[in-house]
């Protein structure tokens, strides 16, 4: 039986590349998305991967969304928590909404989705969870107290959940991407981005497929001894 995978934010950017990579591994993939119907429709037409709409920040919607995927495709073996948003601004201009939206989506979304699938994985004795963190959760970033806090939280979440899954064959790992050529990074002001790229040792943005390759590695059947780890894929921008 093909493994069943859910990729949140799976119809665009890094998520799209992950959805395609998992399909290429022979998995049955459900790509979740929150709002962009047009892009989701085009994604399904292009890839043949079904798209499911719900907001990962909404706990009840995650329960219902996972139940729908499981009734159509079967129990979820692989969860990739990729959905994320930015609301960048300096602390001075950051209102409470910008803080809360990013925490609720980027970090709360990981909890909501894991809550819906983790117990089933433990019961069945197999699971792969990959959470997409960020270089900015490791190193911090000017203008991103919300995003850096949420992504840093993801790295702690990963290490804690990995300990709970270990005895039942459920691995939990994180990837910390650097600056990848996506809509999210394209929204950074041009002059700011040029300075950031100049500081990346390989002197270019990463490609979404370069993150997907890391996810494919972590979710492989042979990956049972890799858990609680963080794989940094950032062109050498932050090493530790
Ligand atoms: N370190 C120190 N000072 C900095 C700085 C930095 N990194 N960046 C800006 N400043 C300074 C500026 O030089 C400027 O100083 P002066 O007033 O003395 O000239 C001051 O801070 C204000 O800078 P801005 O004009 O840029 O301020 P702004 O309010 O217009 O914009 C900002 C602030 C929204 C944070 C903008 O700088 C920005 O978008 N920065 C990019 C943030 C970023 O990297 N986001 C990543 C998004 S992609 C992502 O998150 C994916 C991932 O995981 C990697």
Query: Could you give the dihedral angle defined by the CA atoms of residues 97, 136, 57 and 37, in that order, rounded to the nearest 10 degrees?
Result: 100
Domain ranges of the chain: 4-230
Instruction: Tell me the mean pLDDT in the region 6-20.
Output: 98
Ligand 1 centroid from CA 88, angstroms:
8
Task: Give nearest CA residue, ligand 1 atom 7.
Answer: 142
Mean pLDDT, rounded, of the chain: 97
1: pLDDT strictly greater than 90: no
Tokens representing residue 174 in the block = 């994180």
Task: Give nearest CA residue, ligand 1 atom 33.
Answer: 89
User: Which positions ≥6 away from 237 have C-beta within 8 Å?
Assistant: 135, 178, 179, 199, 200, 201
Rounded to an integer, what distance in angstroms lies between the CA atom of residue 72 and that of residue 234? Answer: 36
> Which residue's entry shows tokens 């990013």?
102
Whether 86 is in the pocket of ligand 1, judged by its Cβ within 6 Å, is: yes
Ligand 1 centroid from CA 144, angstroms:
9
Ligand 1 centroid from CA 93, angstroms:
12
User: Which positions ≥6 away from 134 have C-beta within 8 Å?
Assistant: 84, 147, 148, 151, 154, 176, 177
Name the band, by pLDDT with cuts 50, 70 and 90, for residue 221: very high
Looking at residue 211, what is its pLDDT?
98
pLDDT in tens, 139-195: 999 999 999 999 999 999 999 999 999 999 999 999 999 999 999 999 999 999 999
pLDDT in tens, 47-74: 999 999 999 999 999 999 999 999 999 9
Looking at residue 240, what is its pLDDT?
77
Beta-carbon neighbour count of residue 90 at 10 Å? Answer: 10
pLDDT in tens, 98-126: 999 999 999 999 999 999 999 999 999 99
8: pLDDT strictly greater than 90: yes
Per the document, the length of the chain is: 240
Task: Give nearest CA residue, ligand 1 atom 34.
Answer: 89
* Residue to mutate (ligand 1; options 85, 90, 143; most atoms within 8 A of CB): 143
pLDDT in tens, 180-209: 999 999 999 999 999 999 999 999 999 999
33 is catalytic: no
SS3 content of the chain, % helix, strand, coil (to 5): 55, 15, 30
Name the band, by pLDDT with cuts 50, 70 and 90, for residue 36: confident
Whether 184 is in the pocket of ligand 1, judged by its Cβ within 6 Å, is: yes
Rounded to an integer, what distance in angstroms lies between the CA atom of residue 231 and that of residue 118? Answer: 21
> Going by CATH, does the domain composed of 4-230 fall within 3.40.50.720?
yes
Does an H or E element contain 6, and which? strand 4-7
Looking at residue 110, what is its pLDDT?
99
Looking at residue 141, what is its pLDDT?
97
Atom of ligand 1 minimally distant from the CA of 88:
34
């Amino acid at each position: 039986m093909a493994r069943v995978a859910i990729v949140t934010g799976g119809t665009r950017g890094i998520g799209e590349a992950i959805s395609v990579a998992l399909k290429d591994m022979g998995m049955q993939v459900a790509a979740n998305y929150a709002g962009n119907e047009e892009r989701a429709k085009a994604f399904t037409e292009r890839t043949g991967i079904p798209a499911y709409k719900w907001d990962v920040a909404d706990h009840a919607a995650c329960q219902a969304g996972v139940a729908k995927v499981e009734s159509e495709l079967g129990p979820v073996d692989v969860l990739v928590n990729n959905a994320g948003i930015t609301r960048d601004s300096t602390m001075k201009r950051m209102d409470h909404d910008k803080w809360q939206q990013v925490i609720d989506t980027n970090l709360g979304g990981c909890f909501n989705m894991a809550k819906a699938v983790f117990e089933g994985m433990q019961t069945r004795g197999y699971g792969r969870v990959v959470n997409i963190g960020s270089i900015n959760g490791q190193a911090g970033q000017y203008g991103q107290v919300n995003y850096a806090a949420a992504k840093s939280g993801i790295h702690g979440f990963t290490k804690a959940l990995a300990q709970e899954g270990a005895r039942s064959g459920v691995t939990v790992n994180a990837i910390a991407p650097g600056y990848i050529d996506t809509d999210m990074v394209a929204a950074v002001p041009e002059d700011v981005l040029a300075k950031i790229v100049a500081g990346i040792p390989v002197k270019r943005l990463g490609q979404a497929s370069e993150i997907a390759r890391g996810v494919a590695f972590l979710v492989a059947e042979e990956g049972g001894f890799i858990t609680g780890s963080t794989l940094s894929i950032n062109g050498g921008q932050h090493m530790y």
